[in-house]
Amino acid sequence: MEKKELTDKINKLKKEKNAIVLAHTYQNIEIDEVADFSGDSLYLSRQAAKTDADIIVFAGVYFMAETAKILSPNKTVLLPNVKAGCDMADKINLKQLREFKAQYPDIPVVCYVNSTAEVKSESDICCTSANAVNVVKSLNTKEVLFVPDQNLGSYVESQLEGVKVITYPGYCPIHHRITTQDIEKQKALHPNAKIMVHPECKKQVTQLADFVGSTTAIIKSVKESKDKEFIIVTEKGVVQRLERDCLDKKFILINEKAVCGSMKLLHLEDIYNSLKNNEFEINVNEAIAQKARIAIDRMIKVNA
């Protein structure tokens, strides 16, 4: 089918089935044309929690669809491609988290939402890159365990005086492989550009930034800025959306490897087939979901 025909069919199915599409910012940009809400994990989590739709189609990766199901247990949650996983989430499982906690007893666990439902169920509170600093601050404690992203945990510690953040050695491969040399190379080519960095990057990289923030925060900052040129140090989807929305500004992707293959698995055809055939439904063990929801609900109550 042609793109317009697919879009029309998807929008028709959404109305017939009382369905919504949630799309992460790293998705192929074509998905935005049928998305009811698009943004980062925190924003989409909040939309999943309060929607009146009967069906949630999550254009994202597996852990996101799990989170939506946990927040909306009575709704049907569909993930159009079950192969859409997350390398960071795969870096820690329930057994590994329990072993990590055993090394540091009686210290609260902050769990990045880029994790499985099981890992969330064993944590005290979740966070996203948008509210991680405020989540840790809300615990009012001198020490926290942070899983699974060592880079986000390190960034949080740098923003909070007197708080020790003990990190699990996980990371997002896309952000982790970005280097200071990448920054220096692009800055040499574009000396007037502002450097906008996601906190999943290494500490050496965030230290070179003009701005550090979640995908939503980066987009908001760029749109409000009087500057005209930006080096975007995160996944390519952010650049694509900025180029679409800010025609008077120039955007440079930090490098051509900054692409999440899992996020790019979904296309309009997948959304259409998912809605038409109810593919593929995501379910979470009830006991795990109940425990995980406590951690997620605590996160949602913390301001970004």
Whether residues 154 and 296 fall in one domain: yes
Per-residue pLDDT, averaged over 86-98, amounts to 97
Residue 159 lies in a domain: yes
Residue 304 has a pLDDT of 64
Kindly report which listed range (202-206, 215-219, 243-247, 300-304) carries the lowest average pLDDT score.
300-304
CB 182 within 8 A of CB 202: no
Whether residues 157 and 296 fall in one domain: yes
Give the 3-state secondary structure of 254-293: CCCCCCCCCHHHCCHHHHHHHHHHCCCECCCCHHHHHHHH
Whether residues 164 and 296 fall in one domain: yes
Whether residues 192 and 127 fall in one domain: no
Whether residues 166 and 222 fall in one domain: no
Residue 58 lies in a domain: yes
Tokens of 259: 């692409």
Whether residues 296 and 163 fall in one domain: yes
pLDDT tens digits, 105-133: 999 999 999 999 999 999 999 999 999 99
CB 271 within 8 A of CB 35: no
Task: Give the pairing type, strands 55-59 and 76-78.
Answer: parallel
CATH code for the domain of 272: 3.40.50.10800
Residue 166 lies in a domain: yes
Per-residue pLDDT, averaged over 223-245, amounts to 98
Per-residue pLDDT, averaged over 235-261, amounts to 97
Per the structure, the complete domain to which residue 154 belongs is given by 89-173+292-300
Whether residues 80 and 94 fall in one domain: no
Number of structural domains in the chain:
3
Per-residue pLDDT, averaged over 186-199, amounts to 98
Residue 166 has a pLDDT of 98
Whether residues 156 and 296 fall in one domain: yes
Residue 258 lies in a domain: no
Whether residues 11 and 28 fall in one domain: yes
Residue 99 lies in a domain: yes
